[in-house]
């Protein structure tokens, strides 16, 4: 069985490497075009492209997945199945119709919950206690395909986006390999999604990254961990008369009550509308992440958190 793999970021790259190491036959890889990154602005290949080149695989990088020449190139490989993991483009119906066995997609939630671009971040923002990954058959409507397989996990209150991503990455690549093995024996059964349980996970906006201390402490805690380590939830802090940005990467919600926005030392507590937030890990502008206690000890004056 010949497969074409679609993917772009680190999450997808780990799945590609796992499939290759497991002996899966990959005919070609499709990934996003090289994009400028870093201070130099030089175009850099995606993590998926790097692994594909190391493995000597053909790499296709369409600006749009609907391009006629790209679709023709795909068809020339005569692959049986397309596997999609965090590719980053909507795939047109003409593409979905090419492989005889169809297209399957790994999604980092338990569909139909959190359809869309940011399922891990949105589930953490909502404070879910359970999430997981699933493999679905792809249809034109976004994340609306029948579910072939899924794997659930419990989500600890302190788990960050970065930690959840690594856990789900490990689960997804093993689940994906299992589904591919099923396809080698014939098209596996799949279950339609329950329309009554549909929810959505739109992209994270810049505005959502700024912390508003007038929100409940638990709400802020969920937002902080959902955005950690990147892009990072941040607040404005006044130090020696100068206003600076401070990213908060880890926190702990508490029941303490006090004047809104007031900092309590040495516990590094900040009072919110409901409860208080204890800062555990922060990242000042232009510096590496550090313990909040170390950051506070390094200051000559007590910072004022603005709201």
Instruction: Please give the share of the chain, as a percent, with pLDDT higher than 70.
Output: 100
Q: In this structure, what CATH number is given to the domain that contains residue 216? A: 3.10.25.10
Q: What is the pLDDT of residues 53-63, one digit of tens each?
A: 999 999 999 99
Q: Kindly report, residue by residue over 212-222, the tens digit of the pLDDT.
A: 999 999 999 99
Answer yes or no: do 41 and 118 share one domain.
yes
> Same domain for 95 and 225?
no
Residue 202 lies in a domain: no
Cβ atoms of 227 and 209 closer than 8 Å: yes
pLDDT of residue 39: 77
The answer to whether residues 175 and 234 belong to one domain is no
- Residue 31 is assigned to a structural domain of this protein: yes
**Do 129 and 106 share a domain, yes or no?**
yes
Mean pLDDT (the chain) is 97
**86 and 8 Cβ atoms separated by less than 8 Å:** yes
pTM: 0.95
Is 37's pLDDT higher than 80? yes
What percent of the chain shows pLDDT beyond 90? 97
Count how many domains the chain has.
2
List residues bridging with 250 in a β-sheet: 281
Domain that holds residue 64: 3-197
Q: How many CA atoms lie within 13 A of 99 on its CB side?
A: 24
Asked if residue 255 and residue 221 are part of one domain, the reply reads yes
């Amino acid at each position: 069985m010949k497969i074409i793999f679609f993917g772009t970021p680190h999450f997808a790259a780990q799945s590609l490497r796992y499939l290759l190491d497991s002996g899966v036959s990959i005919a070609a890889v499709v990934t996003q075009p090289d994009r400028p990154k870093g201070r130099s602005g030089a175009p850099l290949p995606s993590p998926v492209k790097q692994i594909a080149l190391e493995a000597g695989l053909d790499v296709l990088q369409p600006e749009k997945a609907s391009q006629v020449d790209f679709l023709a190139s795909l068809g020339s490989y005569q692959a049986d199945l397309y596997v999609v993991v965090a590719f980053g483009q909507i795939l047109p119906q003409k593409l979905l119709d090419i492989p005889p066995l169809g297209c399957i997609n790994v999604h980092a939630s338990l569909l139909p919950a959190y359809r869309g671009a940011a399922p891990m971040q949105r589930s953490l923002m909502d404070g879910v206690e359970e999430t997981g990954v699933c493999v679905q058959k792809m249809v034109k409507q976004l994340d609306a395909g029948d579910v072939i397989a899924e794997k659930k996990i419990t989500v600890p209150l302190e788990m960050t986006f970065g930690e959840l991503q690594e856990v789900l990455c490990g689960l997804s690549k093993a689940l994906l390999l299992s589904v591919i093995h099923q396809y080698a024996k014939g098209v596996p059964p799949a279950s339609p999604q329950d329309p009554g349980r549909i929810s959505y996970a739109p992209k994270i906006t810049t505005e959502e990254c700024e912390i508003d201390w007038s929100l409940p402490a638990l709400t802020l805690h969920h937002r902080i961990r959902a955005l950690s380590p990147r892009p990072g939830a941040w607040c404005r802090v006044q130090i020696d008369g100068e206003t600076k940005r401070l990213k908060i990467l880890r926190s702990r919600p508490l029941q303490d009550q006090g004047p809104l926005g007031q900092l309590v030392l040495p516990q590094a507590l900040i009072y919110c509308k409901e409860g208080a937030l204890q800062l555990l890990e922060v990242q000042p502008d232009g510096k590496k992440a550090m313990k909040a206690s170390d950051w506070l000890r390094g200051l000559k004056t007590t910072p004022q958190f603005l709201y």
